[in-house]
Amino acid sequence: MQEVLIEKVVVNMGIGADPEKMKRAEQVMQLLTERKPIKTFGTKRIPDWGVRPGVKLGLKVTLRGEKAAEFLKRTLMAKENRIKSRSFDNAGNFGFGIKEHIDLPNVKYDPKLGIIGFDVLVALKKRGYRIKMRKIRKEKVGKKQRVTTEEAKEFVKGLGVELE
């Protein structure tokens, strides 16, 4: 019950309001994750950046299970198996960015698509954590079932990753 597991891996691309870039980014995201991305929308008005509620600003894909573990290994290889210690939060989750999608293994440059970066966010859990999220008879989760920062760092070291 104390084993740390990958709950999900979320891949996020912030594109902006340009429809051309959005189409190219959608193709890149589908190429990388083999899943159809969903669009994310602006919620606040920021006139300097041209952002207003309802404007399509980015894409995201949520991966779970084996696909999540496989994608995480590929992206860590692109980062040369190094993550900064400040990338971890208090709940044991961590994230990092990839500046160019062509850094991933077996991904070739396509002039039509260009080069796009993305963020990878990883949520970790322990068995039994589901009782907090279930619809019927939700319960509080004990302190032992929460993933701490140290446990998350040990999990990542087990994947062969160096912490900076």
pLDDT tens across 44-80, in order? 787 777 777 877 778 999 999 899 989 988 888 888 8
Per-residue pLDDT, 62: 93
Is residue 112 predicted with pLDDT exceeding 90? no
The C-alpha atoms of residue 95 and residue 163 are separated, in whole angstroms, by 13
The H-or-E segment that residue 70 falls in is: helix 66-78
Could you tell me which residues come within 8 angstroms of residue 14 by beta carbon, excluding any fewer than 6 positions away? 57, 58, 119
Q: How far is CA 148 from CA 44, 89, 152, in A?
A: 32, 9, 6
pLDDT at 94 over 80: yes
Query: Which domain covers residue 69, as residue numbers?
Result: 4-163
Provide the number of structural domains found in the chain.
1
Q: Within a 10 A sphere around the Cβ of 80, how many other Cβ atoms?
A: 9
Q: Which CATH number covers residue 65?
A: 3.30.1440.10
Between CA 119 and CA 131 the distance in angstroms is 29
Query: 102, 109 in Cβ contact below 8 A?
Result: yes
DSSP-assigned letters across all residues of 76-123:
HHHTTTEE-GGGB-TTS-EEEEES-GGGSTT----TTT----EEEEEE
Q: Is the pLDDT of residue 122 over 90?
A: yes
Q: How confident is the model at residue 139 (pLDDT cuts 50, 70, 90)?
A: confident
